[in-house]
Amino acid sequence: MSSKLLIYLADLDHFAPGNRVSVPYSVASIKSYCDNFFSNETDIKLFKNADKLMKAVTDKKPHVVGLSYYMWNEKLTQYVLRCCKKIDPNIITVIGGPSVARDSDTYKNILLDPNNAVDAIVLDQGEKSFKNIIKTILTYGKDKKKCLSHEIEGCAVRPINSKTILRGEFIRHKVGLGEIPSPYLKGYLDEFLADGMMATFETVRGCPYACTFCGAGDPFYNKLIIREEDVVYEELSYIRKKIEEHGHAPELDLIDTNFGILKDRDLRIITHMLKMFRKTDFPQITGFAITKNQTKETLPIMKAIAEMSGNMTFALQTLTEEVLINSKRKNISLEAMRELADFARKHSLPMLADAIFGLPGETYSSYMETLSKLANIGVKTPEIYQLRLLSDSEVAQGQRTEFNYKGMFRPIANRMGEYNFLKNEKPVRILELEEIATSSKSFTFEDYLKIREYSLLLTIFLREGTFTDTVNYLATKGITITDLITEVQINKNSSPVLSKFLNDYRSYAENEFLTDDSTKVEEMIEDDDLWKQLSGGEGRFFKLNFGFAGYCLFENFDILKTFEKIFDNYVSKKLSGSDVMDYREILEYDKRHWLVQNNKGVRLNKDNVPEKIIINENYDYDTWKESNFKGPLSTYRLKSPRKRFYIVTHYKTLIDWTRKLSDMETYRYYERIIYLMFKGFARRRSIPNNTGQEQSINDHVKQEGTIDDNKLTAQQPNEGLVK
């Protein structure tokens, strides 16, 4: 052949504000594998940014454009391929990824839809299937018509001017990771690390489980393929070095679907990572998934990951036996969870658990029972998710009809943009969507809204630190966070201000959905006002829990007082007199740490947020909490009152932002404030002062030998943003 086959591979994402973009690891792995066979005959270039890809296509037309196809880039991918076809109809366009179900009609619908401009779809293992596409093209001398007239193993193709689909032979034997040279060590991802994109890290690929709500539940993905251990260590060192060279955040996204499943091997890897972390601060793990089964290695693995991520997390989704069966799901035992909870308490680690509402057969009552069980074993802040009907999952295919699922579409946060790749065409607005299960034969839309409301109250009471110690104390007396939230929901209409607050939230929760028909979205976003709201996170499109939590925490204290009244009425009926007295003391202790001490209808500003407060403490609360509130508070009375300073860290930054954001709508304003607090700009920190002199917070924390403030806020976002 006279020239090399020019191939552009991209794992596109929207570079919108707030979106943490990762390196294009998936397509880099394809390049790494294919270069083993065709390096002399192909020139494969990698992209993440759609603008850079389209500039390259315009400057030098490739023979092939291959794009990863995910839920968060479907619309962008489709538009890019349409533009490629307009630039040169002879370009062979290929997609592949989780949003293409390999054993359903999804891929056929995509190929037969002329608006998608897709010639071929990789359906089986990406590396091996794409290698077969390259082999076919080289065999037929870049003749597109001939290439698309033949079946290709592991792929589906649409012959030119045909309404038929050719599905090649299924790939039965996947290549191991050992046959795919590390794209990091080959240097293929250097430019993306230099640009500050987050490193994704894979030590094992595949999942032996068959959860119906997950695309990885397909039996094809059951077999594990493993990266050699020495290569894993070499990759970690390489990534750390590159990140340090460019001064970027030492973050790492661990993308194994069941880390720990290989027991001793995974324990060795995580031990190596922890040693590296303690010495260099890398890696700070931002995402991970722990194996579902408990072994003797599970606890030390989870402990190590918790230190690098700032919390102990495991995914259980539900504890309802029937739902687990329907979902083909397995969980570790309740006994194991209790052991993990005890471990987390002993080491002062937040314990989190993923819980999905809406799984097959789940009811409102059974889901609430799951939350109650979690609370009883120590998981006070479950990560509440609504079921996504992922296009490649069994629940979105066969189970959709079986369980009568109804879905609605809402924007995916930070996955949108306005693009103009072709000079003679007007800019195109692109919005990525997720389909949420809003009802089924076992739950109603009203149930969905009640769970959304539950998540808001959980955010207010615990995630933002409003009643953290109060809730923890009550848990030792048998009153769980679920009990308290249920009581609030039952009694919300007893207070007009609380009723209005929660009704407003419900209205916003309903209106975050755009449509129940995704085909209408392109027409809808042509509305300039709607697009301004979407792209700017304005109007009804923002992180609702942050915005509504901030409003009652910093502006409308009547809502907080209503919560207190409901708590008090409930607790008084459940606890003895002395326990009630301790409850009220710890409640007052919680309230002393609020950024705003008392407010009615005035926005957060420098006049109602003192930078420093001084509190006289009569009890040794710290020791009492460390003992898990063992014994009555009276036994912890100090011989003499202790004076303690509390300061707002980054106070000036907080006040500057309150001024800059002053024109924003109320709930959106507080969403931004909470976001900034999440980043560590505003927390009240304790400074014991026995010398009579003030100390800086960093000096104090350093002397105590704990994590400094910046690291703490970055790695422990759920430890309470109000205190």
Residue 353, helix vs strand vs coil? strand
For residues 590 and 709, the model is more confident at 590
- Tokens encoding 255: 């993308």
The separation between CA 271 and the C-alpha centre of its own chain, rounded to angstroms, equals 25
Amino acid in position 27: V
- Separation between Cα atoms, residue 107 and residue 412, nearest integer Å: 22
Cβ count within 10 A of residue 509: 21
Is residue 342 over pLDDT 90? Answer: no
Question: For residue 508, what are its two tokens?
Answer: 């916003």
Judge whether residue 637 has pLDDT over 80: yes
More confident residue, 464 or 24: 24
- What's the average model confidence in pLDDT over 264-272? 96
What pLDDT does 264 receive?
Answer: 94
Of 281-295, 519-533, 565-579, 696-710, which gets the smallest average pLDDT?
696-710
Report how far apart, in Å, the C-alpha atoms of 316 and of each of 331, 438, 462 are. Answer: 6, 21, 20
d(CA 653, CA 451): 35
Starting at the edge strand found earlier in the chain, the sheet holding 199-201 runs 199-201, 251-254, 284-287
Task: Output the pLDDT for position 284.
Answer: 94
Closest CA to 533 of 434, 428, 432, 411: 411
User: Which alpha helices (DSSP H) does 97-194 contain, by range?
Assistant: 106-112, 126-139, 144-147, 190-194
User: Three-state SS for 259?
Assistant: strand
pLDDT-derived band at 646 (thresholds 50, 70, 90) equals confident
The set of residues, in sequence order, having a beta carbon less than 8 Å from that of 114 and lying 6+ positions away, is: none
The whole-number pLDDT of residue 719 equals 31
Six token digits for residue 82: 């349409």
CA angle 162, 164, 165 (to 5 degrees): 120
Q: Are 174 and 125 in contact (CB under 8 A)?
A: yes
Confidence at 678, pLDDT banded by 50, 70, 90: low
- CA dist 469 → 138, 520, 591 (Å): 67, 47, 10
How many residues appear in the chain? 723
Q: How confident is the model at residue 456 (pLDDT cuts 50, 70, 90)?
A: very high
**Tokens, residue 513:** 């959905």
Q: At what angle do helices 557-574 and 577-592 cross, to 10 degrees?
A: 160
Record the tokens describing residue 562, joined without a space: 């209503």
Consecutive H or E run containing 274: helix 264-280
Distance CA 681, CA 675 (A): 9
Is-contact 617 638, C-beta < 8 A? Answer: yes
3-state SS of 57-69?
A: HHHCCCCEEEEEC
Note the pLDDT of residue 237.
98
Is the pLDDT at 704 greater than 60? The verdict is: no
Query: For the segment 472-516, what is each residue's pLDDT rounded down to a tens digit?
Result: 899 999 999 999 999 999 999 999 999 999 999 999 999 999 999
> pLDDT over 90 for what percent of the chain?
60
Instruction: Using alpha carbons, select from 158, 218, 200 the residue that is nearest to residue 27.
Output: 200
Q: List the structure tokens of 70.
A: 């995910």
As a whole number of angstroms, the distance between CA 411 and CA 429 comes to 13
What is the average pLDDT across 275-284?
96
Q: Among 176-180, 283-287, 606-610, 696-700, which is the least confidently predicted range?
A: 696-700
Look at residue 722 in the predicted model and tell me its pLDDT.
Answer: 39
pLDDT, tens digit, for every residue of 291-341?
777 778 887 898 899 889 887 777 788 999 999 999 988 877 777 777 777
DSSP secondary structure letter of residue 22 = B
Query: In this model, does residue 272 exceed pLDDT 70?
Result: yes
Average of per-residue pLDDT values in the chain = 87
Chain centroid, CA 359 distance in Å:
19
Residue 113: CB partners within 8 Å, gap ≥ 6?
A: none
List domains and CATH numbers for the chain: 5-167 (3.40.50.280)
- Return the HEC string of 519-566: HHHHHHCCCHHHHHHHHHCCCCCCCHHHHHHHHHHHCEHHHHHHHHHH
Q: Are strands 155-157 and 204-205 parallel, antiparallel or unpaired?
A: unpaired
Q: What is the pLDDT of residues 110-120, one digit of tens each?
A: 999 888 899 99
**Which amino acid type is present at position 539?**
G
Residue 548 contacts residue 501 (beta carbons within 8 Å) = yes
Q: How far apart are CA 334 and CA 311, in angstroms?
A: 19
CA–CA separation, 481 and 355 (whole Å)? 15
H or E segment and range at residue 77: helix 74-87
pTM of the model: 0.87
CA distances from 550 to 256, 452, 472, 493, 667 (A): 35, 17, 22, 21, 8
Measured between alpha carbons, how far is 597 from 402 in angstroms, rounded to an integer?
Answer: 52
Q: Is the peptide bond before 350 cis (omega within 30 degrees of 0)?
A: no
Tokens of 192: 């993306």
CA distance 162 to 164: 6
State the sign of the Cα–Cα–Cα–Cα dihedral 683, 689, 692, 696: negative
- Which string of DSSP letters, residue by residue, matches 363-424? -HHHHHHHHHHHHHHT--S-EEEEPB--TTSGGGTHHHHHTT-EEEEEEEEEEEEEE--STT
The whole-number pLDDT of residue 303 equals 85
Q: What percent of the chain has pLDDT over 70?
A: 91
- Which band of pLDDT confidence, cut at 50, 70 and 90, is reported for residue 717? very low
Burial of 97 (C-beta count, 10 Å sphere; 0-12/13-18/19+): buried
Q: Which of 100, 37, 41, 38 is nearest to 67 (CA)?
A: 100
Q: What is the DSSP letter of 149?
A: T
- How far is residue 403's CA from residue 438's CA, in Å, rounded to a whole number? 12
Query: Residue 141: which H helix or E strand, with range?
Result: none
Residue 408, token pair as written in the block: 């609605």
Strand 155-157 and strand 120-122: pairing? Answer: antiparallel
